[in-house]
């Protein structure tokens, strides 16, 4: 933003803050109406194409994926399983062979277990980086 239009300069930043709050599981249903109002004001009052078009991705996702916004707000869940604060990595006990590859790949040492026995992930330590899932050759790690 060039900084000339107040709604563009400040409004887009506020939209980002609201979206960040929603994806962190801290949103409120009133945030949806606030996003729509703010996006409309930014479109109407911006002088250039950037400001007039910047709200479009948010408005489009609100139009076609409103239920996902509501899932983040009401259920504190991310249907797409990409919002780190709202997901959990779990090891399927029936699929884990206890090879230890996931534990070796975990940068925060959140995975424990004995060799040749099913392992477990400590959700309190897990950074949700996904390396364990990438490392596991048995597809024993799922995102919930």
Determine contact, residues 44/36, Cβ cutoff 8 Å: no
* Token digits of residue 121: 């992930």
Domain 88-143 belongs to what topology? Alpha-Beta Plaits (3.30.70)
pTM of the model: 0.83
- Residue range 11-67, pLDDT digits in tens: 999 999 999 999 999 999 999 999 999 999 999 999 999 899 999 999 999 999 999
| CATH number attached to the domain at 6-75 | 1.20.1440.230
Fold match flag (6-75 vs 88-143) = no
Q: Which of 22, 62, 65 is nearest to 39 (CA)?
A: 62
Q: Which are the contacts of 40, defined by CB distance < 8 A and separation ≥ 6?
A: 55
């Amino acid at each position: 933003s060039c900084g000339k239009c107040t709604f563009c300069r400040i409004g887009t930043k506020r939209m980002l803050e609201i979206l960040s709050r929603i994806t962190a599981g801290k949103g409120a249903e009133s945030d949806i109406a606030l996003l729509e109002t703010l996006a409309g004001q930014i479109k109407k009052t911006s002088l250039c194409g950037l400001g007039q078009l910047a709200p479009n991705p948010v408005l489009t996702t609100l139009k076609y994926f409103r239920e996902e916004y509501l899932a983040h707000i009401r259920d504190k869940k991310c249907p797409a399983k990409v919002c780190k604060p709202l997901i959990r990595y779990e090891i399927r006990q029936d699929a884990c062979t206890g090879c230890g590859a996931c534990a070796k790949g975990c940068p925060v040492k959140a995975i424990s277990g004995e060799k040749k026995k099913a392992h477990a992930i400590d959700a309190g330590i897990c950074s949700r980086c996904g390396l364990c899932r990438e490392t596991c050759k048995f597809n024993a790690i799922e995102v919930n």
